[in-house]
Amino acid sequence: MKALFLESPGQYPRFDVKEIPLPRIESDEILIKVQACGFCYHDRLIISGQLKRGVTFPLVLGHEISGLVVKRGCHVKDLTPGDRVVCLPTDACGLCENCGKNKTNQCNKGIALGHNAQGGLAEFVKVRAFSAIKIPDNIGWDQAAILACPIGVGLEALSLVKAPKTKQIAVITGAGGGLGIHLVQLAKMKGFRVIAITSDDRKEPIILEMGADQVVVNEEIGFSEIINAITSDEGADLILDTVGSPLWPQTFRSLSKRGLLITLGEVTGEEIRLNLAELIFRGATITGHVGVSKNSVVESVHLVHEKRINPVVWKTFPMENILDASKSLGNQNQLGRIVLTPNWI
Ligand SMILES: [Zn+2]
Ligand SMILES: [Zn+2]
């Protein structure tokens, strides 16, 4: 089979398509013919060399995988060749203590696809059957690829938050991005009044269509002034930040007393300054979130099947054009996820 290997990361990363043997599946595993693979910021950080921990090269990237089951191990009962599936980004065992508590992304025998094991930018990928979730026919392959990350990841982040009382405000930064556009929908579904922050006013109509109550275009004035004006200086109860340091300290300044700031993305890796007295004064909580459990992916599949959440794919690129996809990520026009599709001959 063919697979796209990242041979070396850095400013001028080198990729190579190679012919390799089909993965051999164990009794609890399935073989999947990849149909689509989302392109995540995580991938770009590996390509640029900024993310090194646990990664060895050459590496086949991609953890947002949808595909068709083509083979199953002798102990696999609930999946059969021909089933359409989405994979958990962390291939989990389903048997350990953490999996038993639905912390499948912290599985004791977890394998991070496209990070420390072969990912989805290949003709085929193998995972334990536990880590594949069936998807209905009304969800296309490109949309299916993003059901776990980013949609399930967003759902899991919102599960950290108590159901809002009336009129509680959630601010979503990077609202046009692959994660942000789904957080807008999910926060609205959970009952928040959603204020979306974007860098480009051309995205406003679609972000409103996706459920935002208000869109703030981040210009020179800084959005924290606007959030505080909108909220009569109360600030937002919840901030879901997908951008990170470039928007600091505006995100923090937009937070209400006893508010919660969840960091889900960091696009530049810069350090930030924080006056701890301000943190104390606000009684605020700042936390990070990563990963997705199986239960959240199952819920994501259900919500998309019921058309309560709309998976937004911005563009698709052939897998071999990954460098073009990587350059496009973070582009001013981006609205939704970039998805890579197989183009093997
Ligand atoms: Zn991802
Ligand atoms: Zn486990």
- The residues spanned by each domain of the chain are 2-150+292-341, 161-288
pLDDT one-digit tens code per residue, 193-206: 999 999 889 999 99
Bridge partners (DSSP) of residue 128 are: 29
Query: Which one of the ligands is nearest to 242 CA?
Result: 1
Write out the two tokens for 270: 């810069």
Provide the residue type at 202 as one letter: R
Distance 58 CA to ligand 2 centre (A): 26
Distance 267 CA to ligand 1 centre (A): 14
Query: Which one of the ligands is nearest to 152 CA?
Result: 1
Q: What is the C-alpha separation between 189 and 166, in angstroms, rounded?
A: 13
At the topology level, CATH places domain 161-288 in Quinone Oxidoreductase; Chain A, domain 1 (3.90.180)
Distance 340 CA to ligand 1 centre (A): 13
Q: Which of 314, 339, 326, 316 is nearest to 15 (CA)?
A: 326
Query: Which one of the ligands is nearest to 115 CA?
Result: 1
Mean pLDDT for the stretch of residues 224-231: 93
pLDDT of amino acid 71: 98
Distance 171 CA to ligand 1 centre (A): 21
Distance 163 CA to ligand 2 centre (A): 29
Residue 135, Cβ neighbours under 10 Å: how many?
Answer: 23
Average pLDDT score over the chain: 95
Q: How confident is the model at residue 333 (pLDDT cuts 50, 70, 90)?
A: confident
Cβ atoms 59, 154 nearer than 8 A: no
Query: Which one of the ligands is nearest to 94 CA?
Result: 2
Distance 107 CA to ligand 2 centre (A): 4
Of 219-223, 233-237, 323-327, the least confident: 219-223
Distance 294 CA to ligand 2 centre (A): 11
pLDDT of amino acid 167: 79
Distance 211 CA to ligand 2 centre (A): 36
Query: Which one of the ligands is nearest to 290 CA?
Result: 1
Q: How confident is the model at residue 166 (pLDDT cuts 50, 70, 90)?
A: confident
Distance 220 CA to ligand 1 centre (A): 31
Whether 307 has a pLDDT exceeding 80, the answer reads yes
pLDDT of amino acid 155: 97
Whether 294 has a pLDDT exceeding 80, the answer reads yes
Q: How confident is the model at residue 210 (pLDDT cuts 50, 70, 90)?
A: very high
Mean pLDDT for the stretch of residues 82-103: 97
Distance 276 CA to ligand 1 centre (A): 32
Distance 23 CA to ligand 2 centre (A): 21
For the domain bounded by 2-150+292-341, which CATH number is listed? Answer: 3.90.180.10
Whether 164 has a pLDDT exceeding 90, the answer reads no
Distance 162 CA to ligand 1 centre (A): 25
Query: Which one of the ligands is nearest to 110 CA?
Result: 2
Distance 152 CA to ligand 1 centre (A): 10
Percent of the chain scoring above 90 in pLDDT: 89
Whether 39 has a pLDDT exceeding 70, the answer reads yes
Bridge partners (DSSP) of residue 8 are: 14
Q: What is the pTM of this model?
A: 0.95
Query: Which one of the ligands is nearest to 103 CA?
Result: 2
Distance 291 CA to ligand 2 centre (A): 14
CA-to-CA separations, 289 to 126, 234, 258, 279, in angstroms, rounded: 27, 25, 19, 19
Distance 102 CA to ligand 2 centre (A): 9
pLDDT of amino acid 162: 82
Query: Greater confidence, 218 or 91?
Result: 91
Domains 2-150+292-341 and 161-288 share a fold: yes
Mean pLDDT for the stretch of residues 49-65: 94
Residue corresponding to tokens 């990350």:
149
pLDDT of amino acid 195: 97
Mean pLDDT for the stretch of residues 15-19: 96
Whether 18 has a pLDDT exceeding 80, the answer reads yes
Q: How confident is the model at residue 275 (pLDDT cuts 50, 70, 90)?
A: very high
pLDDT one-digit tens code per residue, 110-158: 999 999 999 999 999 999 999 999 999 999 999 999 999 999 999 999 9
Alpha helices in the chain (DSSP H): 41-48, 97-100, 141-145, 153-158, 180-189, 204-209, 223-230, 250-253, 276-282, 294-305, 322-328
pLDDT of amino acid 220: 65
Query: Which one of the ligands is nearest to 42 CA?
Result: 1
Provide the residue type at 281 as one letter: F
